[in-house]
Structure 1
Amino acid sequence: MAFENPSRDEIKELLRSAGNIAVVGLSDKPDRTSYMVSEAMQSRGYRIIPVNPRADEILGEKCYAKLADIPEPVDIVNVFRRSEYCGEVAKEAAEIKAKVLWLQLGVVSDEAAQIGEEHGMTVIMDRCIKVEDSILLGKEQR
């Protein structure tokens, strides 16, 4: 069966109930898409946890080298990595019992989707979390 993203209503509820969002591949460079998207989500009230082994702090938050290093629960793992790395990220997300595996716009991995689904995660691929938040929640307060 071909992969299908959840319905817009389901995505809206996932965003509404999201606590911590771990961002894998979050750059410390303000001109990068991962930084701009995460900064916008943070300004909307989401808690962003950077996952980048080459930085100590991004957006005022402590960075972690890998998902397993994060000392608190993670609701959404938002991935800004090339598709070929997403299977491994999905395995790490499963290990920390994340609820959602979100592959950003342009990122698709059947392997990651299969791993995520096998571990009970909701999987979203090839969608921008910031765009979905803007469309589905708009000016709604978090």
Structure 2
Amino acid sequence: MSYVHPSREEIKQILLDSPTIAVVGLSDDPSKVSYMVSEAMQKKGYRIIPVNPKAASILGETCYASLKDIPHPVDIVNVFRRPEHTPPIAEEAVAIGAKVLWLQLGILNEEAAEIASARGLRVIMDRCIKVEDSILLPNGRATL
């Protein structure tokens, strides 16, 4: 498989259709990019579900050790982990019925993309969800 970015219109629709984002690798350190991005997305109206086995809660939300531990539906699995760790995350995203696997800026893994796309998930790699949301939905999801 050769990965191709979805169009901006497709990404906009994904964001509009996806109120719940599980963030794998979300740090509880406010100086980390994962925290800043997730906090910004939360302020824009998305529900952020932290996936971090070392923390109890982040951004006022209960943390889960893995995607499989989350007790409710997830739309997007947003990943802040090194590329070599993403194939098992893709498998978990499939297992929980997520709609989208989103690998953050600088994260590319063809194997993870193939795992997810072969089972019907949309895949976005090497893009920042906060940047895409800011460009495509500058006034937020609720105003549209």
Using the size of structure 2 for normalisation, the TM-score is 0.97
Distance in 2 (CA, whole Å) between partners of 1:35 and 1:118 is: 30
Q: Identify the residue that residue 119 of structure 2 maps to in structure 1.
A: 119
Indicate whether 1:102 and 2:102 are aligned. Answer: yes
RMSD across aligned C-alpha pairs, in angstroms? Answer: 0.8
CA drift of 1:17 comes to 1.3
Matched residue type, 2:134: S
Distance in 2 (CA, whole Å) between partners of 1:118 and 1:21 is: 21
Indicate whether 1:137 and 2:128 are aligned. Answer: no
CA change 1:44–1:114 in 2 (3 A) is: same
Q: How many residues align?
A: 142
Matched residue type, 1:27: S
Q: What does 1:1-142 align with in structure 2 at a 5 Å threshold?
A: 1-142=1-142
Superposed CA deviations along residues 45-80 of structure 1, whole A, max 9, x for unmatched, are 000000000000000000000000000000000000
CA drift of 1:141 comes to 4.3
Q: Which structure 2 segments of 5+ residues have no match?
A: none
Q: Which structure 1 segments of 5+ residues have no match?
A: none
Name the SS of the counterpart of 1:91 in structure 2: helix
Using the size of structure 1 for normalisation, the TM-score is 0.98
Provide the identity percentage. Answer: 64
